[in-house]
Amino acid sequence: MLRRSLLAALPLLPVPMLALTGLARPALAQGAAGNQAAVARAEAYLNGITTLRARFLQIAHNGGTAEGNAYISRPGRMRFDYDPPEQLLLVASDGQFLYYDRELRQPSIVPVGSTPLGFLLRAQIRFAGDIEVINVDRRNGLLSITARRRDAPAEGRITLVFAEEPMELRQWIVVDSQQRETRVTLNAMERGMSLPRGMFTFNDPTFFEREERQR
């Protein structure tokens, strides 16, 4: 079920949805001017990320859970390594998103632009243009931005939740057209480290050989 939920989550939106586990939902928006400033701060924070490494906890719509390590190298590259017993690897690079089942040795590839996480990998992140912000909420030091694709609102919606002081991405939830949620919480986050390009380059013929040797 977890594998199926991950595959279903890939082709939803070009933005990720975030919310904080165990916290009350944010209060109503606090004025247009304040909201615009908060969204601008979130944009600046996201655009300031070059590399990021964190632990993640994922909760699928059916209650299944998985943990692992997340890596982002902007623009364009991302990797999710799942802890055993899950035999899953997700890698984004060169405009493609790879879903790889290590147990079955089965790869599936979709365009990055068709995935929820593609938004974080853009060279310039903006909550504008093809992305429509439908709600901005703030409470208890948290900023929540809900968005969807402007030309395909029926596909689902996205909410990003940040800690405001200091600004930090905390979690995402993707809600699809059938109201199924996939929730990812980030912790132990580090930024600005060097990440080898090879860990993202799945089009290299030796990529999967290296992955098998490292298991």
Q: How far is it, in rounded angstroms, from Cα 210 to Cα 57?
A: 25
Positive or negative, the CA dihedral 174, 81, 187, 95 is negative
pLDDT at residue number 61: 87
Looking at residue 143, which CATH number applies to its domain? Answer: 2.50.20.10
Task: For residue 131, give the DSSP letter.
Answer: E
The reply to whether 200 falls in a domain is: no
Structural domain tally of the chain?
A: 1
- Whether 123 is in a domain gets the answer yes
From 176, 188, 175, 189, select the one nearest 18 (Cα to Cα). Answer: 175
Per-residue model confidence (pLDDT) at position 25: 38
Give the pLDDT of residue 116.
Answer: 67
Residue 12 in any domain: the answer is: no
Asked, for residue 157, whether it belongs to a domain, the answer is yes
User: In terms of residue numbers, what domain contains 111?
Assistant: 32-189
Is residue 15 one of the residues assigned to a domain? no
Residue ranges of the chain whose pLDDT lies below 70: 1-31, 116, 212-215
pLDDT of the residue at 214: 64
156-167 residue pLDDT tens: 877 888 999 999
- 88 found inside a domain: yes
Q: 118 lies in a domain?
A: yes
Spatial separation of the C-alpha atoms in residues 76 and 123, rounded to whole Å:
7
Rounded distance between C-alpha atoms, residue 92 and residue 100, angstroms: 11
Residue 96: exposure state from Cβ atoms within 10 A (0-12, 13-18, ≥19): middle
Is position 48 within any domain?
Answer: yes
pLDDT at 170: 93
The predicted pLDDT at position 195 comes to 96
What is the per-residue pLDDT for 164?
Answer: 92
